[in-house]
């Protein structure tokens, strides 16, 4: 399984479990929380009513115990009954957080000290014995009385919570007030709260998922860049090291770059030492042989001059080899251009053609192209690359021949074509012409070149983000095409 998928699955598993746990806890706590708040309110309400009715309940019990009240005396109990009746008939319209309340739902029951109902919002309960109900029973004995009873035993939605408070007079409990609240009246608030929590929870999970997806994408993208860079290093392709703002990734990129430099440096040294040793054998043997012959005292002057010229030629060959190896080594080790400025290829081609004209052996250079052709690059490297292409074309051109130097603009790129009119490149060599130290015999019988010119051109093209290729022209001769990104 890929690391990015493991990270994504791990993140979503953690977030999902945390979200599920939080949502479950929150939703599970809503109903008990509402019930607790309702019970707290009922406690306050029951005690307030108990204080309000205490004088009238005490007076009403005195009248009941001592007989009927005089005709001109108002019965205090009637005031209690009238107040409860008026409460049940009262209308209300209240918008509570967008939930309409249109009825008063408290169920009030007032008992005497024996637990018998004296007054109630439901007149049918008057006279019944409530002494065994938990709320009344415990309250009349000085404790905290509360109960929850269903109107229909098989329906939990009909549950009613009752809380009772003692009615005290003269230091004695003379009765109890029980206030009930149906759970159905608070169900809309519970449902709305649960819906809000679920909606917010889903939104939270979606946002967390989006953040997780972005984080996973960022990590995957960073790992992918490191992977591509490592593959480029393994395959020897030129690629700039990726840059990261995260310290760990930046350190990893730097470590890979250092490893690449060390590995490439070791391979580079091994390859070039081996190749250089092979290339030095021939000129050194020639120099040594000429020196041994020159040691003879009776050598004719003309022959001596010939061997001295041979030594100078071999020395020049060694010097040219060393210079080209240094140039190629320098450009191979560059990760990016040291200078990036606009370069007019048309003007550069004219300067290069004029510079190599002295060694062209009568070969003409015909330049065609637009008035200007601008690319962004390093002028020195581009000049050297064009010099190598022209010198290579001159070396394989017949005396008095012609080289076509054509420049043209393509969509997003500039192309420089260098064509000679020689014999072309053998098929077996087309795949190897850009290998370091690979060289073909010259048509005029002169010594091979160092075989580093086209390798240098390839490295320069890669540094500029371009390409170079060499193929045989259908009409004869070899055609080298250098393509570079163009400044539009």
For 118-179, the DSSP string reads EEESSGGGTT-B-TTSHHHHHHHTTS-EEEEEESSTT-GGGEEEEEEEEEEETTEEEEEEEE
The SS3 call for residue 248 is helix
Contact 476, 402 (CB under 8 A): no
- 348 vs 294: which has the higher pLDDT: 348
Residue-level pLDDT at 481: 93
Rounded distance, CA 250 to CA 260, Å? 15
Rounded distance, CA 352 to CA 394, Å? 13
Residue-level pLDDT at 430: 86
**At residue 472, what are phi and psi to the nearest 5 degrees?**
-85, 135
Rounded distance, CA 275 to CA 268, Å? 10
What band does 187 get if pLDDT is binned at 50, 70 and 90? confident
Lowest mean pLDDT of 3-12, 84-93, 450-459, 477-486, name the range.
3-12
Q: Give pLDDT tens digits for 207-225.
A: 877 887 787 787 788 878 8
What band does 69 get if pLDDT is binned at 50, 70 and 90? very low
Rounded distance, CA 144 to CA 42, Å? 12
Rounded distance, CA 115 to CA 123, Å? 16
Give the residue from 63, 103, 59 showing the smallest Cα distance to 80.
59
Q: What is the mean pLDDT of residues 344-351?
A: 90
Flag whether pLDDT at 141 surpasses 60.
yes
Residue-level pLDDT at 117: 95
Residue-level pLDDT at 73: 46
Q: How wide is the angle at C-alpha 39 spanned by C-alphas 34 and 42, nearest 5°?
A: 125
Residue-level pLDDT at 40: 92
Q: Give pLDDT tens digits for 241-278.
A: 778 777 777 777 777 777 766 665 555 555 555 555 65
DSSP assignment of 290-314 equals: HHHHHT-TT--HHHHHHHHHHHHHH
Exposed/middle/buried for residue 65 (C-beta within 10 Å: 0-12, 13-18, 19+): exposed
Flag whether pLDDT at 240 surpasses 70.
yes
Residue-level pLDDT at 48: 95
Lowest mean pLDDT of 350-364, 397-411, 456-470, name the range.
350-364
Rounded distance, CA 59 to CA 83, Å? 16
Residue-level pLDDT at 327: 60
pTM for this entry: 0.47
Q: Give pLDDT tens digits for 350-394.
A: 888 888 877 777 888 899 989 889 998 888 888 888 988 988 888
What band does 131 get if pLDDT is binned at 50, 70 and 90? very high
Sign of CA dihedral 39, 40, 43, 45: negative
Instruction: Tell me the chain's radius of gyration from C-alpha atoms.
Output: 52
Rounded distance, CA 282 to CA 156, Å? 106
What's the mean per-residue pLDDT of the chain? Answer: 80
Contact 207, 19 (CB under 8 A): no
Rounded distance, CA 468 to CA 449, Å? 19
Residue-level pLDDT at 71: 46
For the domain 337-488, what is the CATH code? 3.30.565.10
Flag whether pLDDT at 428 surpasses 60.
yes
Rounded distance, CA 464 to CA 484, Å? 7
Helices (H), 170-300: 187-235, 247-294
Residue-level pLDDT at 120: 94
Q: What is the mean pLDDT of residues 188-205?
A: 80
**Domain range list for the chain:** 3-191, 236-264, 337-488
Rounded distance, CA 176 to CA 131, Å? 10
Flag whether pLDDT at 321 surpasses 50.
yes
Q: Give pLDDT tens digits for 77-99.
A: 788 989 999 999 988 888 887 78
For the domain 3-191, what is the CATH code? 3.30.450.20
Percent of the chain past pLDDT 90, that is, above it, reads 24
Rounded distance, CA 223 to CA 355, Å? 49
Residue-level pLDDT at 381: 83
Flag whether pLDDT at 129 surpasses 80.
yes
Report helix, strand and coil shares of the chain as percent, to nearest 5.
55, 20, 25
Q: What is the mean pLDDT of residues 470-483?
A: 91
Strand order in the sheet with 364-368: 364-368, 402-410, 413-419, 478-485, 467-472
């Amino acid at each position: 399984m890929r690391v990015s998928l493991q990270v994504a699955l791990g993140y979503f598993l953690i977030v999902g479990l945390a979200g599920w746990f939080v949502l479950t806890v929150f939703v599970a706590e809503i109903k008990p929380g509402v019930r607790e708040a309702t019970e707290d309110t009922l406690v306050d309400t029951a005690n307030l009513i108990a204080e309000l009715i205490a004088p009238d309940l005490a007076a009403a019990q005195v009248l009941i115990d001592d007989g009927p009240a005089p005709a001109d005396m108002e019965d205090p109990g009637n005031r209690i009954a009238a107040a409860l009746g008026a409460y049940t008939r009262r209308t209300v319209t209240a918008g509570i957080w967008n939930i309409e309340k249109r009825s008063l739902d408290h169920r009030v029951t007032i008992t005497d000290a024996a637990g018998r109902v004296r007054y109630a919002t439901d007149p049918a309960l008057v006279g019944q014995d409530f002494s065994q109900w938990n709320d009344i029973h415990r309250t009349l004995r000085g404790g905290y009385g509360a109960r929850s009873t269903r109107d229909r035993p098989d329906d939990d939605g009909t549950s009613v919570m009752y809380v009772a408070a003692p009615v005290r007079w003269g230091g004695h409990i003379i009765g109890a007030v029980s206030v009930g609240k149906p759970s159905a009246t608070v169900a809309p608030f519970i449902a709305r709260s649960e819906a809000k929590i679920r909606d917010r929870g889903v939104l939270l999970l979606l946002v967390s998922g989006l953040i997780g997806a972005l984080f996973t994408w960022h990590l995957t993208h960073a790992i992918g860049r490191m992977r591509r860079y490592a593959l480029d290093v393994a395959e020897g392709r030129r690629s700039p090291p990726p840059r990261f703002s995260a310290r760990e990734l930046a350190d990893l990129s730097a470590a890979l770059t250092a490893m690449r430099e060390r590995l490439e440096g070791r391979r580079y040294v091994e390859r070039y030492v081996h190749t250089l040793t092979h290339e030095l054998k021939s000129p050194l043997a020639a120099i040594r042989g000429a020196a041994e012959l020159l040691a003879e005292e009776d050598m004719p002057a003309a022959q001596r001059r010939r061997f001295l010229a041979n030594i100078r030629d071999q020395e020049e060959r060694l010097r040219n080899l060393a210079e080209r190896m240094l140039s190629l080594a320098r450009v191979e080790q560059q990760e990016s251009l040291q200078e990036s400025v606009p370069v007019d290829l048309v003007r550069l081609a004219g300067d290069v053609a004029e510079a190599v004209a002295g060694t062209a052996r009568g070969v003409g250079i015909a330049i065609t192209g637009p008035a200007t052709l601008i690319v962004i690059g390093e002028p020195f490297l581009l000049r050297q690359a064009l010099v190598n292409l022209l010198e290579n074309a001159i070396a394989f051109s017949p005396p008095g021949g012609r080289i076509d130097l054509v420049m043209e603009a393509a969509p997003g790129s500039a192309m420089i074509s260098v064509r000679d009119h020689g014999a072309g490149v053998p098929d077996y060599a087309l795949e190897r012409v850009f290998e370091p130290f690979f060289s073909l015999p010259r048509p005029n019988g002169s010594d091979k070149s160092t075989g580093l010119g086209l390798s240098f051109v390839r490295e320069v093209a890669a540094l500029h983000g371009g390409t170079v290729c060499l193929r045989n022209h259908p009409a004869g001769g070899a055609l080298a095409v250098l393509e570079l990104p163009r400044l539009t």
